[in-house]
């Protein structure tokens, strides 16, 4: 029987193992030490590594990232937790103007091995200020890498790669996936940043799914397979760098593509992926690139509205059917 861990436990194990491997790695953030993080992503780290390497901070996201930028520039490998993805706005200057640009502005003389961890996504009735998916903001800035693990295996492997990387990496966990179980090896391993995962192979249509939408797309693919429709599901794993080669290779095979994310559709990462597909594989398309995402509105608080806001397997299946009818 394979070893099963939850998404959050897999991430936690990756943190334990990478901190044991490298004494220059340390963790700071609000409630990360005594409480283990708002979602218990960091349970046990204070006990194992002590208060010198695991520190609670004041409620000041700008200070948290500022400290991390300075420490990274001096050769340490800080992991800075921002709790909710929505809070990146408070630390915007430190992330976009300092962390992302410092290596470039110093001609490569300064490395920036900074990891920022945060939790994004809707589905927990956390309302408009604690439920957003803002990966397109981050991916737009040269110098930042943005990873979005969609399985327990990737939650562990991507945090290890992020901490080892000499550039700023933002690892966006999904709140609704924290208890999801999956196969996770016990040993330390890494998942390369910028290498997509072909979750299911198919021949009729490609679905490019971001974050938790990988789970919904896989459910839709299974349902469609029972009806004789073969779906290939691609999980980019990272939206920056984006493995567009794996995506376009799939499109050349299936000739149809649907892009799914839970961020709002307008200006979302799906628009960028769509543009690159039509630039690289336009002649292979038998129908226009399709997108399925959230409406242009804040995330609702009420569960019935929130469920209507975020794409799910049923809507993905319906979108695939509409796509297959187009010529």
- Summarised one tens digit per residue, pLDDT across range 25-83 is 999 999 999 999 999 999 999 999 999 999 999 999 999 999 999 999 999 999 999 99
The segments of the chain whose pLDDT lies below 50 read: none
CATH number assigned to the domain covering 197-325: 3.40.50.920
140 is catalytic: no
- Cis peptide upstream of residue 241 (ω within 30 degrees of 0): yes
pLDDT at residue 2, rounded to an integer: 83
Residue of 61, 135, 272, 317 with catalytic role: 61
186 is catalytic: no
CB atoms within 10 A of CB 327: 5
pLDDT at residue 1, rounded to an integer: 52
CB 254 within 8 A of CB 221: no
CATH number assigned to the domain covering 4-183: 3.40.50.970
pLDDT at residue 90, rounded to an integer: 96
Pairing outcome for strands 4-6 and 77-84 = unpaired
Helix H or strand E segment including 260: strand 257-264
Residue of 130, 135, 262, 306 with catalytic role: 130
Picking from 217, 293, 201, 312, the residue whose alpha carbon sits closest to that of residue 254 is: 201
d(C-alpha 64, C-alpha 176), whole Å: 25
CB 41 within 8 A of CB 186: no
Please give the structure tokens belonging to residue 150: 């969609």
d(C-alpha 136, C-alpha 316), whole Å: 21
What ranges do the domains of the chain cover? 4-183, 197-325
Token pair 């789970």 in the structure block, residue:
215
- Domain 4-183 and domain 197-325 have a common topology: yes
Please give the structure tokens belonging to residue 93: 């200057």
Q: Read off the pTM.
A: 0.96
d(C-alpha 23, C-alpha 42), whole Å: 17
CB 54 within 8 A of CB 42: yes
Counting runs of H as helices and runs of E as strands, what totals does the chain give?
12, 14
């Amino acid at each position: 029987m394979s070893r099963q861990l939850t998404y959050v436990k897999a991430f936690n194990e990756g943190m334990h193992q990478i901190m044991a491997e490298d004494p220059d790695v340390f963790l700071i953030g609000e409630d990360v030490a005594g409480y283990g993080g708002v979602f218990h992503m960091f349970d046990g780290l204070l006990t194992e590594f002590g208060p010198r390497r695991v520190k609670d901070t004041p409620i000041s996201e700008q200070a948290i990232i500022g400290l991390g930028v300075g420490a990274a520039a001096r050769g340490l490998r800080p992991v800075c937790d921002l709790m909710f993805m929505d809070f990146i706005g408070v630390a915007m200057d430190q992330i976009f103007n300092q962390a992302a640009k410092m290596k470039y502005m110093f001609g490569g003389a300064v490395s920036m091995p900074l990891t920022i961890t945060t939790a994004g996504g809707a589905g927990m009735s956390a309302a408009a200020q604690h439920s957003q998916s803002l990966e397109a903001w981050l991916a737009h800035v040269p110098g930042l890498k943005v990873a979005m693990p969609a399985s327990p295996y990737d939650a562990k492997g991507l945090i290890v790669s992020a901490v080892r990387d000499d550039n700023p990496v933002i690892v966006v966990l999904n709140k609704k996936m924290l208890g999801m179980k999956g196969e996770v090896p016990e040993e330390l391993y890494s998942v390369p940043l910028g290498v997509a995962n072909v979750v299911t192979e198919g021949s009729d249509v490609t679905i490019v799914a971001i974050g938790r939408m990988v789970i919904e797309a896989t459910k839709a693919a299974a349902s469609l397979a029972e009806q004789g429709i073969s779906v290939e599901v691609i999980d980019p794993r990272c939206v920056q760098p984006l493995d567009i080669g794996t995506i376009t290779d799939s499109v050349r095979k299936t000739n149809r593509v649907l892009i799914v994310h839970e961020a709002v559709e307008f200006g979302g990462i799906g628009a960028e992926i769509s543009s690159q597909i039509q630039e690289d594989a336009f002649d292979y398309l038998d129908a226009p690139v399709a997108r399925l995402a959230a409406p242009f509105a804040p995330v609702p608080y009420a569960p019935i509205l929130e469920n209507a806001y975020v794409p799910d397997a049923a809507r993905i299946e319906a979108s695939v059917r509409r796509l297959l009818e187009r010529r």
